[in-house]
């Protein structure tokens, strides 16, 4: 299957819960190929990926494990989606009516936020109480609109 086919398949299997981007899929496929888990064959200008023997063995070890979109808390996913939408609204407003200094600072804030989110993924799992799940959008209500 080629990368865009994988993107569509994950979207269908997850009922739209997971929407992968080419910027996430292709580097992952390259890493899997480098690790010997998939092989890539060119087909009409596209690479078609297949599990290698080693990849099939790794997949067999995971058989019966629920896919990641079935192991997430739907309320947390909804809250995260709302926060992303609110951030996008604020960024659009800066882009539309902000001054040059504000737009430049907004870029810095967004780059830092992206880096911090990736840093969260890199953290070791923590045992103990669940993180705060209450919305903080109400705290920023006055800042969502100009």
To which H or E segment does residue 16 belong?
none
Beta bridge partners of 107: none
pLDDT score of 140: 46
What value does the mean pLDDT of the chain take?
83
Domain boundaries, given as residue ranges, for the chain: 3-69, 73-124+131-144
Please indicate, yes or no, whether the overall pTM of this predicted structure exceeds 0.75.
no
Q: Among candidates 5, 11, 70, 78, which has minimal Cα distance to 43?
A: 5
Write the pLDDT tens digit of every residue in 20-72. Answer: 888 889 989 999 999 999 999 987 778 899 999 999 999 999 998 988 878 77
Looking at domain 3-69, its CATH class is mainly alpha
């Amino acid at each position: 299957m080629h990368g865009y086919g994988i993107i569509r398949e994950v979207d269908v299997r997850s009922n739209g819960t997971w929407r992968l981007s080419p910027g996430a899929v292709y580097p992952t496929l390259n890493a899997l190929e480098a690790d010997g888990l998939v092989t890539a064959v060119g087909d009409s200008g596209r690479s078609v990926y297949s599990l290698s023997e080693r990849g099939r063995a790794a997949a067999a070890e995971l058989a019966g494990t629920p896919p990641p979109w079935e192991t997430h808390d739907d309320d947390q996913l909804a809250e995260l989606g709302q926060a992303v939408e609110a951030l996008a609204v604020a960024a659009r407003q800066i882009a539309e009516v902000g001054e040059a200094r504000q737009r430049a600072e907004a870029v810095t804030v967004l780059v830092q936020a992206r880096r911090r989110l990736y840093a969260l993924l890199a953290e070791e799992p923590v045992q103990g109480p669940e993180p705060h799940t209450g919305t903080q959008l109400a705290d920023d209500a006055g800042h969502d609109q100009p």
